[in-house]
Structures are given as C-alpha cells and as structure tokens.
Structure 1
Amino acid sequence: MDQRNAERIAESALALTGLSGLPAVQQWFDERRRIDVARVERIALTDLVNWRTDPDTGNIVHDSGRFFSLEGLAAEVPAGAVTSWTQPIIHQPEIGILGILAKEFDGVLHFLMQAKNEPGNVDGVELSPTVQATRSNYTRVHRGSFVPYVEYFQEENRRKVLADVLQSEQGAWFYQKRNRNIIVETDQEVELLEGFRWLTLGQIHQLLAGDAVINMDSRTVLSCLPFSGTGLADRFPFQGQEFRRSVLRSSSADLAGLHTIGETLSWITETRTRHEVRARRVPLREVTGWTRGPEAVTHDSGLFFRVIGIDVETERREVAGWSQPVVEPVGVGVNAFLVKRVDGVLHALVNARVQPGFLDVIELAPTVQCTPDNYDWLPSAARPRFLDDVLRAGPDRIRFESLLSEEGGRFYHARNRYLVIETDADHAPDPGPDFRWLTLHQLVGLLRHSHYVNVEARSLIACLHSLTGESTAG
C-alpha cells in the first residue's frame, strides 16, 4: 500500500478550496442543472423504438443484440425467509468503465467530475465520474459521438493507476453485472471540456451531503480510493473533534480492529460456504407472480419494482434521443451503517448479504439494506434484524444522512436514504453469524479486490470517508 498516496488522498479530503472555492462550484453545478435539461417521458413497453419482445422467451431485447436485456431469474435460497421466487432481472454481460481522472494542482489532488444528466435521475444533472460508459457506448454501437477522456483509461502510457478493480452492481436488479472502477492520475495537460470540473475530494465530500448531487457511479469509484495508511490519525490529529478523529483512526492501518483481516476473510469464505444459493436466468414469460401488460411489468402485490418504458430527448449526450426499458423501484429504500467507537477506532457493522444476482453468493452489505414498505407483504422472518435500530435512531445519533440516487441509466427515480448512525460501544457485541464489525481500513483493503463489498456499502464507505471533513461535529 502506497503510504504517500494515502496521505495525498487525506490532504485532498481536507481541502475545501481547490482551483475554485465551494460557492463557485455550487454555482457552476446549479447552472449545469439549469441548462442541461432532458425531456423524459414514460411510454408503454410496446412503444419502445429499437427494442422488441422476443417471441420465444418474452425477453425485452435491443435490436442490435447489445446494451442489455430484461429477462427472468429463478432463485432458490433454501435457508432464506423466502426460499424461492422468480422475478425480472437486467442482464448486461458487458463490462463498462467507471473512471475518474486525477491530477495535482498546487500540490493538492483534484478529481475531474462530469455534470451528467441521466434519464432516470429525479433532478436531472448529477456529478458523475469522468467516464461513465458501457462498452456499447464507448465502442459507439449507437453511432453517437466519442466518449470524452476515455483514452486516459485505455492507454497505459498516459496514466498512473490509483485504483483499478471490477465491482458488482445491484444484486437484486442485475444478473452478475460488473463494471471496471478505475482512478488514474495524469501529469499531462488536460483540456477542460464543457460540463467537467476539477474538484478536491473535500469539495466532493461536501456536495455528497446534499441530496442527489453525487451519483452512484461516482460514489462507488471514490470508495475504491486507497484511503488507508499507517499513522493517518497522528498525521491529522483533529484535536477536540473525537468523532472525526475516530473516522481517521479507522482508516489507519496500524490501529487494530475487533477482527484481523485473516479472520474476516475466513468468515466471508465460511459464510459463502454456509449459504446455498441457486440462481439461473429463465425466459421472462416464465416469471410467476408478475404481470406483463402493454404499459409495464409489475409484481402482483404492487410492491418491489416495475419495468417501464421511457422516451428521452437531450442535446448533451452522445445520442440526441432514444427509448429504453428501465426498472422503477416502488418506494424509497434505506441503506444504513450502524457504527461504534472501539478504543477510539470507528467500526461499521456489515452484513454478509445473499442476493441472487451476485457472482459469488454473498457480498458485504450495509447493516440494513431494504425498502421498509416491502415487509408488509413479506414474512415477518424476512424483516432485517437491525431495521428498528435504524428507523428509531434519534437525530443525536445520526452522523450522516442524505437522499441519494441510484444509477440513472437503468433505474428510474431510484432513491435510497443513506445513513450512518452511531451506537454505544457495547452495542451488539455478538451481532450474529452474518454480521461483523469492521474498520474502514479493512473495508478499503477488501475493495482492492472484486466481489467483497456491494454497491450500497461502497456508497456508504464514500459517505463515511466524507466524515473526515470540517463540517463533522466532534
């Protein structure tokens, strides 16, 4: 692990003024939202252009055979509260690039962020990575314009790699979907194009506290930064700000956690062995408990999610207009970490979570990851163990709270309430076989590898890192 990179990342996280101040950044972002407006209209699935329903399977597929398809999934989890079910699932086997370009200005690391309007975003423009593109997009299957800056992530001689790892996406909505999460640094001159801005990590963290500003793809990439080193708590002492200090102590690899990394890896392996999961793609027409109509595919309970069609017109994307199917969740979800200080080191309670779309049985998830309204229909045994702790937490316990969007290219108005809630040091000393208290430097270590930490937990890790910032209460 590169100690100097960890210090540079920490220094950038503490820098609220970079090439411009935060007020100027906010003004620029507000202007981008004003001028970059897309027309997004819900349409019937039967009215999608360049998409068709396969007559044999009922799957919704693109005429090119690329991009993605809506298929069925049959899942069996013998030890689960719900032991078997079928559902629609997005199948997108190609691996896209989620890449952030970094560069030093006046000795401070900056990150090139893009103000991008995705059709599923509630408020239009959000801050995305420098490059956020599927293989079909950056190879121009749609015959649109070139993806800016993609060459920095394809040409090895133009970059220094800070992070580069394949990571999963939502295991409830995607089948074994992965994207390349990559951060590269350059010392070359970089032409600044319209809609892009260099920001310090501290400025990004400040914006992350606002609702629906930093998009999901940015959050997952930023979580992969090697924000872990030895002696960080001594290098940046934060005198008199004990919670803020506990976050940085949690990122300090020389301070022990409740479990060693060897014990943690053994626990993950044991959990994957203990849980039996069988998931297979099936024709969409074989999915039961769901109704396919001309307008949408819906669950018979009215809960979970819908598959709908949208038509999009915009002047600021590689293609000016298109239509596509999207997944529209029903209700607002809750993704929360319970955290506690142990000997001054912050620990987060992670859940080894089974989801049918995962490539390797389980990944580490937030303490609570759910849409509470769904449990009016599901069996009581399915209710998440720590959900009531999260829902009943008082304001004095909440260290982070923001309503954040999920990926707006495949999901329509998908939002989750992201929370970090501090508990007492003696809370849940034995949380059960599917939970463990881990430090941030342990989670960052796991994020150097694929399929250990899920996308919702990665978002929360980015939120936890933001709590090193100056706005955090002591």
Structure 2
Amino acid sequence: MTQAIISRKHSAVPHDNKDQKRIAESAAAIDGGVMSMDDFHGWFDERRQAIRMDVQRIPFADLKRWGFQPVTGNLVHDSGRFFSVEGVRAHFDGQAPLFWSQPIINQPEVGFLGILVKEIDGVLHCLMQAKAEPGNAEGLQLSPTVQATRSNYTGVHEGSAVRYLEYFTDPGKGRALVDVLQSEHGAWFYRKRNRNLVVEAVGDVPEHEDYCWLTLGQVRRLLGIRDLVNMDTRTVLACLSLAEAGEQGDAASGTGPGDGTAALAASLSEEAPAAHTLPEILRWYNGIRARSEVSVEPVPLAAVDHWVRDEDEIRHRSGGHFTIVAVAVEAGNREVTGWTQPLLSPRGTGVVAFLAKRINGILHVLVHAHPEPGYVDLIELGPTVQCVPDDLAHLPAEQRPRFLDEVLAARPEQILYDVVQSEEGGRFYQALSRYMVVETDGDPVVPDDYRWMTVGQLVMLLQHSNYLNIQARSLIACLQSVW
C-alpha cells in the first residue's frame, strides 16, 4: 500500500480509480471497438499506398539550408532552429574508466508526443496516426496523434499546421491523463526531452483519413508486429498505468509460480509484493548517481577525436559506432512536402532486453543504472542489455556487456517477447533494435548497478522525469502487450 500512496501523491497527473478502470478496460478490448483488427490492417494498407515518402542519400554539399560552421565544424540549420550535430567529450570513472568524444544531436527544444483519447461506446479509444518518417526502415508506422518539435508547431519549417495540436495546448479542449517530460536516446541526443501526454478530448473530434480510433488493447496487440508501432507511441503508452488490470488479473488467475500469465498480471499491480520496496530502489538509485564520477562537456564537432568527415558521412575511424549522413526527402502528406536534413545512422541492429525472473510468483525485470552522455542527470534506469552486438565483435568475452550472451542464447520457451522495432525515424536512419524479454531459469549473480523490479514499480517511476530511459520505456510497453 505504501508504494501506491507514494505514486499517487507525487505523480505528475494522478490516476483516480475510475481512470485506472477505464484504462484497464480499454487495454482488455481487442475484438470490439470502432474498427476490427482486420479493418485496421485494411486501412493501414490503404494509407501505405497513399502516403509515399521518397528518401535518398545525398552528399553533404547537396544539403539545403544546412552547413558546417567554419570554426566549430558543427552541422547547423541556417535558421538556428531544428537541431544541430555537435560534439561531446565524456569521462565515466567506473571499474573500467572510459574516456571518449563523439558527435551528438543537440535539439534543445521540448516537443509534444501526444495521444488523444476519447470514450466511444463506453470504451476509451486512442486516436492514432499513420505517419512516415525519413529514417523509417519500413516507411509507414503507427504514430501518436501529435508528434511535433517546437520548430514544427511554431511554423519555423514554413509548412502547414500540426493537426489536433490544440487538444494538447488548450486545457479547455482536453483533460490530461498523462503529462510528463521524458528523455530521448542518451547516446545520440544531448539532453533531449519530450513532453509525453495522454489527453482525453472534450467535445467532438474531427476525422481525418490518416488517423484511426483504436483501443489500447488493439494498439498493444500491434506491438507484436515488426516495426509497425513507432518509438514515440511506445514511450507514451508506457506511461499509462495498468495497475487496475494487474489487480484484476491477479484476482482472476492467482500468482502461482507455474502460471506465467498470472506472474505478469501480478507484476503490473502497484501493490504487488516486490523484491525491493520503492523507497529501497530510490535509495539505491540515488546512491549510484551520487557516487558515480561522470563528466560530460560539449565540444565543437571539429574537436572530436577519431572521427573523420568526407563528402557523404561523418564516421569513426574504426568503422564502428554510427555515422552522420545526409538525405533528401519528398513527402506528399507532411506539413512540408520536400526537404533535406542530416540523420544519424547506427552500424547494425541493436539488442534491447530485459532479463526477467519470477520472485514469489511475481514477474520481476532486471534494470541497469545506465550512464550515457546525453542524459540530463547522466544516469537513468535502462534495460538489462542495451547494445549493438556488431559493434562488439572484436571484444573478448569478459568485455562484452553483462547478460548479453544469456539473452542471445535463450531457448524459445524462455522468450516472452522478441520483436524488431525501430528507433526514432525523424533523426535516425533505419535504426532497428531487437526488443526482447527473456525469463531466466537460473539465479544469476546481479552486480550492484542492477536491481530486480516489478513492472508496476517501473510505471510508477514513469510518472516522473529522468528515471527510465527510452529503451526501458519501449520495453515496458512491449511487455504490457504480452499481458
């Protein structure tokens, strides 16, 4: 009970019991709703044919309104807005001290990632958008109602207005169920945050052919399909509490150690007995942050070590990590129909995984207090494993990330979730990661910078900023979809 009181007292937008029940009912609704799953796939295929985006790699010299500053070497837009590619120098003083410098995307604007919801026939539905981004591997994805930077919605791009934005900016047009600032990729963005919102509409909502109404259960079901639900949808979904669903599942199924469904359902509850109480977790986490020697300083892009620039890309001399490339985009249904821009392109498919374990019949996942140069607070809670294996092939076994080999060697019966999903397509070029939840059948040794937590505890922390990184939030949404 103490944990639930802490969450509701200090959360950015408290969920009352009625809201939690409606969220749980929507999460359980899959076959009903405004459209069936078959109808959705038909609609999405039609949108795929109608929404075309042509993306071509180009040399940096062909970028329009973008250029390298003569002294710093930073890659910037001539408006001074949108984002820039700059450099950082980092020092992590752990068991194996690390020193390095790298390019990083600096986008100081706080954008909107918002899902509009409305009760239709007694069930909450989400207004979801079919949207293409230049970096998407598969083109079209299911996106939030609104996905916009400040430069977008203030018209710096000189394009058309962002649809449905008024529901998220005018308190009279919607009631917030979720409203919290959350971080973006800490390895690739410098201190980037977005406002994650779920807003219940007041009054009628106009229809548009690129948008559809789906229940929470239907959106979560689609998380089982490769690269369909985009990263921004996943981070917003993760912030919605399924505590009521967990309590209902617990009551219906029991929490016996032989029942995997019950173990996950119980884990969703804010009041599930956990290996560590939330105050214990916070004391551990704050202790890690307090004693960690981490320093990050911005530097000019021209000053980063071991990175070179040629006509087509900025790359590391080793051939690893990532590159910065340039693209030209033609899109018929966007606020702006044609533009050029830089994108960050990873080297290989990432692995993002939670190791899971039942403790007293309740599913726990293993989180890692993970430092990255772009976090506001330098350390956030991340998944058990977060890396690009192709980048590590040259390393000896003892230097590979902890638990990576156990995750990759998992037997089919251990795998609760295993789907390739994309990272943010507006700034990253074909960035794909294999998202996994693997239940261990052993008792792994857990280093001090890892802790076992329930899903309910993680969602409680998501009512606050700067606790969980975006990969962990995506995995929480994916794991909730299993339930």
Q: Which TM-score applies when normalising by structure 2?
A: 0.94
Letter of the structure 2 residue corresponding to residue 387 of structure 1: L
Residue aligning to 2:428: 411
Could you tell me which residue of structure 2 aligns to residue 472 of structure 1? Answer: none
TM-superposition CA deviations, 1:438-458 (whole Å, max 9, x none): 001100110000000000000
1:61 aligns to 2:76 (yes or no): yes
Give distance in 2, aligned partners of 1:192 and 1:343: 48
Q: Which stretch of structure 1 is more off in the superposition, 449-458 or 338-347? A: 338-347
Which residue matches 2:3?
Answer: none
Indicate the SS of the match to 1:231. helix
Distance (whole Å) between structure 1 residues aligned to residue 193 and residue 344 of structure 2: 18
Partner of 1:265: 282
Aligned 1:69-468 pairs, distance under 5 A: 69-79=84-94, 81=96, 83-229=98-244, 231-234=247-250, 236-237=252-253, 242-377=259-394, 382-424=399-441, 427-428=443-444, 430-468=445-483
Worse-matched range after superposition: 248-257 or 134-143? 248-257
SS of 1:55 mapped into structure 2: coil
How far 1:234 sits from its partner (Å)? 4.4
- Kindly indicate whether the alpha-carbon contact (under 8 Å) linking 2:255 and 2:263 is maintained by their aligned counterparts in 1: no
CA positional deviation for 1:88: 0.3
User: In the superposition, relative to structure 1, how do residues 82 and 192 fare at CA in structure 2: closer, same or farther (>3 Å)?
Assistant: farther
SS of the residue 1:145 aligns to: coil
User: Is the Cα–Cα contact under 8 Å of residues 104 and 187 in structure 1 kept in the other structure?
Assistant: no
Residues 1:377 and 1:47: Cα distance change in structure 2 (over 3 Å): farther
Cα distance in 1 for residues equivalent to 2:219 and 2:405: 31
Consecutive unaligned residues of structure 2, counting only runs of 5 or more, are: 1-7, 9-15
Alignment check: 8 A CA contact 2:223 2:478 kept: yes
Q: Tell whether 2:55 aligns with 1:40.
A: yes
Q: Following TM superposition, by how much is the alpha carbon of 1:80 offset from its aligned partner in structure 2, in angstroms?
A: 5.6
Verify the 8 A CA contact 2:255 2:362 in the aligned structure 1. no
Q: TM-score under structure 1 normalisation?
A: 0.95
Deviates more, 1:142-151 or 1:382-391: 382-391
- Per the TM alignment, residue 187 of structure 1 is displaced from its structure 2 partner at its CA by 3.8
Distance (Å, rounded) in 2 between the aligned partners of 1:118 and 1:350: 30
User: Aligned partners of 2:60, 2:95: CA distance in 1, in Å?
Assistant: 33
Partner of 2:4: none
Would the aligned equivalents of 2:243 and 2:268 in 1 still touch at CA under 8 Å?
yes
In the alignment, what sits opposite 1:9? 23
The answer to whether the Cα contact below 8 Å between 1:400 and 1:421 also exists between their aligned partners in 2 is yes
Question: What RMSD in Å do the two structures reach over aligned CA positions?
Answer: 1.6
Matched residue type, 2:22: R
Q: How many residues align?
A: 466
Query: Helix, strand or coil for the counterpart of 1:458?
Result: helix
1:189-213 CA-partner distances (Å, limit 9, x unpaired): 1011120001011111111100010
The 2-side partners of 1:238 and 1:432 are apart by 31
Q: Is the 8 A contact 1:7 1:232 kept in 2?
A: no
Identity of aligned residues (%): 51
Task: For residue 433 of structure 1, give the secondary structure of its aligned residue in structure 2.
Answer: coil
TM-superposed deviation, 1:419: 0.5
Cα displacement (A) at 1:340: 1.4
Given that 1:81 and 1:379 are in contact with CA atoms closer than 8 Å, whether structure 2 keeps it comes out as no
Structure 1 unaligned residues grouped into runs of 5+: 469-474
| Residue pair 1:238, 1:244 contacting (<8 A) in 2 also | no
Q: Deviations over 1:212-255 (max 9, x none)?
A: 10000000011011222483334554899922222221111222
* Alignment match, 1:471: none
2:89 and 2:397 mapped to 1: Cα distance? 22
Q: CA deviation at 1:172?
A: 0.5
State how far apart, in whole Å, the 2-side matches of 1:3 and 1:167 are: 24
Q: Conserved in 2, the CA contact under 8 Å of 1:162 and 1:226?
A: no
C-alpha distance in 2, partners of 1:117/1:231? 37
SS of equivalent to 2:109: coil
Cα separation, 2, equivalents of 1:278 and 1:112? 41
Alpha-carbon displacement from aligned partner over 1:388-438 (angstroms, at most 9, x marks no partner): 1101001111111111011000000000000011112x522x511110010
Please tell me the residue identity of whatever aligns with 2:347: V
**Cα distance change, pair 380–289 in 1 and its aligned pair in 2 (3 A):** farther
Q: What CA deviation, in whole Å up to 9, does each residue of 1:264-310 have, x standing for no partner?
A: 00011001012111111100000111111121100111111000000
- Judge which range, 147-156 or 77-86, deviates more: 77-86
Alignment CA distance shift 1:363-1:62 (3 Å):
same
User: Per the alignment, in what secondary structure is the counterpart of residue 24 of structure 2?
Assistant: helix
Distance 2:65 2:350 in 1: 32
Letter in 1 for 2:344: V
